Amino acid sequence: MTQAAIQADASDAMITMTGVGKWYGAFQALHNVDITVAQGEKIVLCGPSGSGKSTLIRCINHLEAYQEGEIRVGGMLLGHQSKTIDAVRREVGMVFQQFNLFPHLTVLQNCMLAPVKALGLGKADAEERARQLLERVKISEQAEKYPAQLSGGQQQRVAIARALCMRPKVMLFDEPTSALDPEMVKEVLDTMIALAEEGMTMICVTHEMGFARQVADRVIFMASGAIVEEAPPAEFFSNPQHERTRKFLGEILGRH
Amino acid sequence: MGRDEFVFLLIGLKWTVALSVVAFICGCIAGLIVALARTSGITLLERITAGYIAVFQGTPLLMQLFVVYYGLALIGIRMDAWAAVSVGLTLHASAYLGEIWRGSIEAVPKGQTEAAKALALRYFSRMKDVVLPQAIRISLPATIGFLVQLIKGTSLASIVGFTELTRAGNIISNQIFQPITVFGIVGILYFLMCCPLTIYGAHLERKFAASTR
Amino acid sequence: MNYTLDFTPVIDGLPSLLSACLGTFFLAICGMLLATVIGIGGVVLRQSPIKALRWLVIGFVEIIRNTPFLVQIFFIYFALPLAGIRLDPTPTAIIALGINGGAYAIEIIRGGVQSISKGQMEAGLALGLHKAQVFRLIILKPALRAIYPSLTSQFVLLTLSTSIASAISAYELTSVSQRIESDSFRSFEVYFTVTVFYLVISWVMMRIFAFFSARYFSYPVK
């Protein structure tokens, strides 16, 4: 690779992870992970439980500290000082498996909190932004309700809107549909598909292979804390290269 | 502090134990009646027992002992301090245990009562064979917690004039002028009674939490 | 039986009984504040990496919870002068109430801190909020809500146990009523009336606590 190519690559890339390693005490959770995600690209991360996929995306917004290699988000080096961590977190939205809406705030307040407190936005602007995004996830009529009054699918759509209120450049999804009743999975996936079509850069940890086929530019398969294989979905599903990938796909697709 | 003084404390300890046992046993019997009345579904009974519980939970135990002590004398029942304090502590225990057990009776799933009804069991059998065995299991940690409160509460009998452990400590302390030593030992004696119960209660609570998870 | 109730001494003593109620409130409120401070400090020490400190807190909690308040108040009453601290009965009673209530508060607050899920913390951080903001805006209210019922019922118990401070003649309702009783020998009348006073005091306390609960913690939970 020429010098010019590296430059171009770096400026295009939204996220670059180079040689990232992470340990919990003596246990190594991530081994030498290299990933580059271009702007607008959609990545689906999959793998058996304990393979390190959640740990990996949690490193991108530094919910987990990594000990080796480097992570760049939108050109910024994600160090371990709180200043750069905060800067990165303002650019990166995250959606959790357990929604993690704040129970003591209404839907609207959940969406307004961080824009006001972390971005310094005025209340009126934050509210306008929140209402717009709640409209977009088709839940605007629930704005004054509290999280406990919503169904799981509705809560997760609010969580997506809440993350979008920060106008993030990247969205991370950590098994967003795993805690949902089956009949609610679709409404959340539809929201995610709509987001993808608008050009959001997304990294999704999910076992929804239909979603991966439809939306992903690349599917990355992890096992034991390392990347085993990555390919565009058509190739990944029709012609997996590794034995572990085949075994995993057999289990997960056979189940459906 | 000499051997004689320590023996005097132990005699006081004996009365503390006696008072606790009597008040707890009588309190359990009366408390069961309170709990059943409180969950009877009969509005009047429920109101009366709710008021009974609220009065005992809303006033100091010391005042309850005073009122019972002088109130019994007033209606012509002449009792020595020991009997009057036993009655006072029993009433106190019946209200607290009644409230604890009301909670546990209500914590038994409704389906249990419905299933018992569907099996044609009458009220007495429904309670004795189905609901209460489960309720008692649920209530055990809180019941033991209250027993510890009750043992500590018997110390207030000393203010009414009954010579149990704390009053024995007061008497000795006034004789030998070593209040720190005396009340230190008195405290240790209470601790030795209460701590095993506290540990057992916490153990039951953990066990129960683990089995319902 | 020819005893007739006579409430005259009670009525005559009403002004001093009512101002003694303020003494009870004063003891109770100071005791609650001290208990809260001890409770928070105890929880912080209880999480300390130093093992000896953790065991110190555990030992403190268990000693206080497994001995009668009356014995504790006597012990403190006699121990403070030995430590060179000379205090009137009322401040002594406040210290005893605070220490006793603090031991229970430690256990209650610790439970509240443990009840908050790690996910709430992470969601706040992921939104770009600082740790202090996450604590203040996200953790604090649900944690307070979680401990509020047990903490306030503990405070009602603390209020009731101020009556035990009469044993060292602190200024409060029970000791004043004992004085009226010994002057008049109308024991039942005096203690009955004072019991009603206590009922009103604890009822007022509970209403105040419920008012704050309805105002600040009224969001629905599953």
Query: For residues C143 and C113, is the Cβ–Cβ distance under 8 A?
Result: yes
Mean pLDDT of all residues in C109-138: 88
Q: Is A145 left (phi over 0), alpha (psi -120 to 50) or beta?
A: beta
Give the model's confidence band at C115: pLDDT under 50 very low, under 70 low, under 90 confident, else very high.
Answer: confident
C83 CB within 8 Å of a chain B CB = no
Among residues C164, C150, C168, the alpha carbon closest in space to that of C24 is found at: C164
Which numeric CATH code is attached to B3-211? 1.10.3720.10
Cβ contact A–B (≥3 pairs, < 8 Å): no
Residue in C120, C133, C221 nearest the CB of A100: C120
* Burial readout B24-56 (b: 16 or more C-beta within 10 A, e: otherwise): bebbbebbbebbbbbbeeeeeeeeebbebbbbb
- Measure in Å the smallest separation between the Cα of C1 and chain B Cα atoms: 7
Residue in C127, C133, C220 nearest the CB of A148: C220
Give the pLDDT of residue C69. 97
Mean pLDDT of all residues in B12-21: 96
Q: Per-domain residue ranges for chain B?
A: 3-211
Residues in chain C: 222
Chains that touch C (3 or more CB pairs under 8 A): A, B
Whole-angstrom CA distances from A151 to A112, A136, B184 are 21, 18, 58
Does the pLDDT at position B32 exceed 90? yes
Dihedral sign (CA B139, B145, B148, B149): negative
Residue C65 to residue B183, Cβ atoms within 8 A: no
Query: For residues A220 and A43, is the Cβ–Cβ distance under 8 A?
Result: yes
- What's the order of all strands across the beta sheet hosting A68-73? A27-38, A13-24, A68-73, A76-77
Residue C67 to residue B198, Cβ atoms within 8 A: no
- Measure in Å the smallest separation between the Cα of A179 and chain C Cα atoms: 14
Q: Using alpha carbons only, give the angle B193, C108, B63 rounded to the nearest 5 degrees.
A: 60
Partners of A76 in beta bridges: A73
Q: Using alpha carbons only, give the angle C140, C141, C147 rounded to the nearest 5 degrees.
A: 90
The pLDDT tens digits of the residues spanning B154-204 come to 999 999 989 999 999 999 999 998 999 999 999 999 999 999 999 999 999
Residue in C119, C217, C222 nearest the CB of A96: C119
Give the model's confidence band at A3: pLDDT under 50 very low, under 70 low, under 90 confident, else very high.
Answer: very low
A50 CB within 8 Å of a chain C CB = no
**If you count DSSP H runs as helices and E runs as strands, how many of each does chain B have, helices first?**
10, 0
Long-range residue pairs from B128-135, CB within 8 A, at least 24 positions apart, any chain: B131/B105, B132/B105, B134/B108, B135/B101, B135/B104, B135/B105, B135/B107, B135/B108
Give the model's confidence band at C2: pLDDT under 50 very low, under 70 low, under 90 confident, else very high.
Answer: low
Q: Is C128 left (phi over 0), alpha (psi -120 to 50) or beta?
A: left
Mean pLDDT of all residues in B42-61: 96
Sequence-ordered list of residues with C-beta below 8 angstroms from that of C129, at least 6 positions apart, any chain:
A113, A114, A117, A118, C137, C138
Pick among C69, C71, C178 to test the B interface (most B CBs inside 10 A)? C71
Please tell me the distance from the alpha carbon of residue A72 to that of residue C172, in angstroms, as a whole number.
Answer: 66
Give the pLDDT of residue A254. 72
Considering only A21-25, A131-135, A154-158, B205-209, which range has the smallest mean pLDDT? B205-209
Sequence-ordered list of residues with C-beta below 8 angstroms from that of B8, at least 6 positions apart, any chain:
B168, B171, B172
* Burial readout C151-186 (b: 16 or more C-beta within 10 A, e: otherwise): bbebbbbbbbbbbbbbbbbbbbbbbbbbbbbeebeb
Average pLDDT over all residues of chain B: 92
Give the pLDDT of residue A215. 94
Residue in B66, B183, B190 nearest the CB of C191: B66
Pick among A85, A90, A104, A170 to test the C interface (most C CBs inside 10 A)? A104
Which class for A36: exposed (0-12), middle (13-18), buried (19 or more C-beta within 10 A)?
A: middle
Please tell me the distance from the alpha carbon of residue B79 to that of residue B66, in angstroms, as a whole number.
Answer: 13
Please tell me the distance from the alpha carbon of residue B163 to that of residue B166, in angstroms, as a whole number.
Answer: 8
pTM for this prediction: 0.80
- Determine the angle formed by the axes of helices B3-38 and B179-212, rounding to 10 degrees: 40
Residue in A86, A100, A104 nearest the CB of C130: A86
Give the model's confidence band at C47: pLDDT under 50 very low, under 70 low, under 90 confident, else very high.
Answer: confident
- Measure in Å the smallest separation between the Cα of C210 and chain A Cα atoms: 17
Task: Look at residue A21 and give its three-state secondary structure.
Answer: strand
* pLDDT over 90, % of chain B: 73
Interface of A with C in 171-230 (CB under 8 A): none
Among residues B144, B173, B138, B178, the alpha carbon closest in space to that of B158 is found at: B173
Sequence-ordered list of residues with C-beta below 8 angstroms from that of C79, at least 6 positions apart, any chain:
B180
Chain B residues within an 8 Å CB radius of C161: 60
A163 CB within 8 Å of a chain C CB = yes
Whole-angstrom CA distances from A58 to A94, A173, A220, C124 are 9, 10, 16, 13
Please tell me the distance from the alpha carbon of residue C94 to that of residue C35, in angstroms, as a whole number.
Answer: 10
Long-range residue pairs from C127-133, CB within 8 A, at least 24 positions apart, any chain: C127/A89, C127/A113, C127/A114, C127/A118, C127/A162, C127/A163, C127/A166, C128/A86, C128/A89, C128/A90, C128/A114, C128/A118, C128/A119, C128/A166, C129/A113, C129/A114, C129/A117, C129/A118, C130/A82, C130/A86, C130/A118, C133/A117, C133/A118
Residue C128 to residue A149, Cβ atoms within 8 A: no
Does the pLDDT at position B47 exceed 80? yes
Kindly state the helix (H) or strand (E) to which residue A93 belongs, with its residue range.
Answer: strand A92-95
Chain C residues within an 8 Å CB radius of A82: 130
Does the pLDDT at position B2 exceed 90? no
Mean pLDDT of all residues in A44-71: 93
- Measure in Å the smallest separation between the Cα of A210 and chain C Cα atoms: 27
Give the pLDDT of residue C222. 67
Give the model's confidence band at C220: pLDDT under 50 very low, under 70 low, under 90 confident, else very high.
Answer: confident
The pLDDT tens digits of the residues spanning C150-183 come to 999 999 999 999 999 999 999 999 999 999 999 8
Interface of A with C in 66-95 (CB under 8 A): 82, 86, 89-90, 92-94
Give the pLDDT of residue A141. 94
Higher pLDDT, C92 or C221: C92
The pLDDT tens digits of the residues spanning C51-84 come to 999 999 999 999 999 999 999 999 999 999 988 8
Average pLDDT over all residues of chain C: 92
Mean pLDDT of all residues in B115-131: 85
- Measure in Å the smallest separation between the Cα of C40 and chain A Cα atoms: 22
User: Going from the N-terminus, what domains does chain C have, and what CATH number goes with each?
Assistant: 10-216 (1.10.3720.10)
The pLDDT tens digits of the residues spanning B126-150 come to 898 889 989 998 999 999 999 999 9
Does the pLDDT at position C102 exceed 80? yes
Residue A100 to residue C145, Cβ atoms within 8 A: no
Q: What tokens appear for C204 in the block?
A: 């007022």
Residue C130 to residue A90, Cβ atoms within 8 A: no
Average pLDDT over all residues of chain A: 90
Dihedral sign (CA A10, A13, A15, A18): negative
Give the pLDDT of residue B12. 95
Does the pLDDT at position A125 exceed 80? yes
Among residues A97, A174, A20, A63, the alpha carbon closest in space to that of C128 is found at: A63
Q: What tokens appear for C82 in the block?
A: 């030995």
Neighbours of B198 (CB within 10 A): 17
